[in-house]
Amino acid sequence: MTSVCWFRTDLRVLDQPALAAAAAQGPAIGLFIASPAQWRSHHDAAIKIDFWLRAVQSLRIELERLNIPLKILVVDQWAEVPSALLAFCQQHDVQNVHCNREQGVNERRRDRASYRLLAEHNISLLGHQGGTLLVPGSVKTGADAYYRVFTPFSKACREKLRTAPYQLTALPKKQTSKGLPSSDALPPELKPLLAVTKKSLQDAWPATTEAAHARLELFAQTRMAQYQPDRDFPAIPGTSVLSPYLAAGLISAGQCLHVAMHLNKGESDTGQRGIVVWINELLWREFYQHLMHGYPTLSMHQPMRPETNAVVWRKAPEDFKAWSQARTGVPIVDAAMRQLLATGWMHNRLRMVVAMYLSKNLLLDWRLGETFFMQHLIDGELAANNGGWQWSASTGADSAPYFRVFNPISQSEKFDAEGRFIKHWLPELASLSAKEIHDPSTAARRALNYPEQIVDLRSSRVRAIEAFKGLR
């Protein structure tokens, strides 16, 4: 009898509970199911799919070191996954399938349907906790409800992690390869998905666990202690840029937490300020994953605050186009959008700035921005993306109050004072002084062929506040 580790967004061998469980029951086989049509329906970005598929290829090499073959199936839609999984289990005489749980509603439907069909054939599907620090649903208020406010949630997480520290799952032992199938190469129908991303971008985002750990190590040794003052300035490399690796599971949040706490002498909420603040960001990730588990409607385009369904969003396709094509006339917004379009990644401070600009100054439905981000981010992740958009649009749990609208020009002056980030991404403005670059004069815009602002920031702020005022 064989056991399977079904890999999804957990493409690693270390701290991989599902793999460890499959190997303990061994012999084990790894399985990855590629679902291009499903991915398209989730708006997964081409650059992210490219990253996943390259990660799957390096996972195969890591598994082969343990004599665990990796099989790859192509099953276009998740509705077809249960029967494909059953056929796979029957073909390879599989008794148990292990996977790490995912929180999205479609992911859970797929897993429930697979569980039921396999059970009818006496094959078990066992879920493990491999994507979060704590089991979603295990951190609740005294009234047995999911926390909707981050600070008490993070306190409760820290308390739980203090009494029962996160345990890293060990690497499985090398198994004997006797009688096991050989690994699959990437099926030819997936190769076109790799061809769309430029080689220079693939080089910028190496899709290996070694690269993830090297990034974490470098960040820990050189930047983590300085994280708090540096993290808001997009022109300096003040953050870890680990998000694509965390989103695809090439590294776990637990591995990140261990490195941070080791550096901070075992503490998560006292000690070096930068490290404590970085751990807090891992807990924001945790917060949104737990919310997605507790409130499945978040995966169904619903706001966390139902009263915000009454907001009348503008229909202004030209404004959306200008935002998405980096032509709003607000340099920091346009520079941020160029960063996204060119690299598949955007700095957190700027994600907040452009999201608030879209949902408040342009008063466009935050779901348009959420989808656009998913279509372009290499780290696009349902829970964090939804959480970030709902925070910015004031529709979410513990979100920005509707009357606190960021002024993108003040944000620019504060967090990119010299205009270094702007000049990098908008080289056409490179000749402007640090004073003028945040909001060039009409004459400078004309001379440099840079557009006028598409909305007036002051009146559009008032319009947004009016749209939210009085919602019950």
Ligand X SMILES: Cc1cc2nc3c(=O)[nH]c(=O)nc-3n(C[C@H](O)[C@H](O)[C@H](O)COP(=O)(O)OP(=O)(O)OC[C@H]3O[C@@H](n4cnc5c(N)ncnc54)[C@H](O)[C@@H]3O)c2cc1C
Cis peptide before 27 (omega within 30 of 0): yes
Minimum distance, C-beta of residue 465 to ligand X, in the bound complex (Å): 20
69 is an interface residue for ligand X by CB under 6 A:
no
Question: Helix crossing, 408-415 with 331-343: angle to 10°?
Answer: 70
Looking at 151-159, 177-185, 239-247, 451-459, which segment touches ligand X (CB under 6 A)?
Answer: 239-247
Looking at 234-242, 300-308, 406-414, 417-425, which segment touches ligand X (CB under 6 A)?
Answer: 234-242
Q: Is 52 a catalytic residue?
A: no
Residues 348-387 that bind ligand X (CB under 6 A): 348, 351-352, 355, 373, 377, 379-381, 384-385, 387
Residue 409 contacts residue 373 (beta carbons within 8 Å)? no
Near ligand X by CB under 6 A: residue from 100, 169, 243, 394: 243
Q: Closest Cα to residue 360, out of 327, 381, 387, 333?
A: 333
323, 389, 391, 425: the active-site residue: 389
Minimum distance, C-beta of residue 84 to ligand X, in the bound complex (Å): 28
Instruction: With residue 169 as reference, give the H or E element that holds it.
Output: none
Give 93's DSSP letter.
T
Amino acid identity, position 439: D
Q: Is 391 a catalytic residue?
A: no
Near ligand X by CB under 6 A: residue from 388, 396, 419, 440: 388
Near ligand X by CB under 6 A: residue from 71, 128, 213, 231: 231
Minimum distance, C-beta of residue 423 to ligand X, in the bound complex (Å): 21
Reduce the DSSP state of residue 6 to 3 states and report it: strand
- Choose between 88 and 150: whose C-beta lies nearer to ligand X: 150
Instruction: With residue 446 as reference, give the H or E element that holds it.
Output: helix 442-448
Reduce the DSSP state of residue 317 to 3 states and report it: helix
Reduce the DSSP state of residue 100 to 3 states and report it: strand
Minimum distance, C-beta of residue 7 to ligand X, in the bound complex (Å): 19
Q: Read off the tokens for 334.
A: 């346009």
Near ligand X by CB under 6 A: residue from 60, 285, 293, 423: 285
Q: How far apart are CA 95 and CA 97, in angstroms?
A: 7
Strand partners, 126: 98
Minimum distance, C-beta of residue 198 to ligand X, in the bound complex (Å): 21
Q: Is 96 a catalytic residue?
A: no
Amino acid identity, position 15: D
Residue carrying the six token digits 């820990």: 220
Q: How far apart are CA 75 and CA 248, in angstroms?
A: 19
CA distances (Å), 30 to each of 70, 220, 363, in order? 4, 31, 46
Minimum distance, C-beta of residue 64 to ligand X, in the bound complex (Å): 29
- Choose between 71 and 215: whose C-beta lies nearer to ligand X: 215
Residues 100-159 that bind ligand X (CB under 6 A): none
CA dihedral 152→157→159→163, nearest 10 degrees, is: 160
Residues 179-218 that bind ligand X (CB under 6 A): none
Residue carrying the six token digits 């996204």: 340
Residue 172 contacts residue 63 (beta carbons within 8 Å)? no
259 is an interface residue for ligand X by CB under 6 A:
no
106, 313, 407, 413: the active-site residue: 313
Q: Is 323 a catalytic residue?
A: no
247 is an interface residue for ligand X by CB under 6 A:
yes
322-351 footprint of ligand X as x/- string (CB under 6 A): --------------------------x--x
Q: Is 313 a catalytic residue?
A: yes
- Which position's Cβ is nearest ligand X? 388
- CA Rg, the chain, in Å? 23
Q: How far apart are CA 11 and CA 211, in angstroms?
A: 13
Q: Is 280 a catalytic residue?
A: no
278, 284, 345, 391: the active-site residue: 284
Residue carrying the six token digits 């993108």: 408
Amino acid identity, position 102: E
- Choose between 98 and 293: whose C-beta lies nearer to ligand X: 293
44 is an interface residue for ligand X by CB under 6 A:
no
Near ligand X by CB under 6 A: residue from 80, 184, 281, 413: 281
Q: What values do phi and psi take at 391, rounded to 5? A: -65, -50
305 is an interface residue for ligand X by CB under 6 A:
no
Minimum distance, C-beta of residue 242 to ligand X, in the bound complex (Å): 4
Residues 430-449 that bind ligand X (CB under 6 A): none
Around Cβ 284, how many Cβ atoms within 10 Å? Answer: 18
Question: Considering CB under 6 A, how many residues would be counted as binding ligand X?
Answer: 28
Active site residues: 281, 284, 313, 348, 366, 389
List of residues contacting ligand X (CB under 6 A):
231, 239-243, 246-247, 281-282, 284-285, 288, 348, 351-352, 355, 373, 377, 379-381, 384-385, 387-389, 392
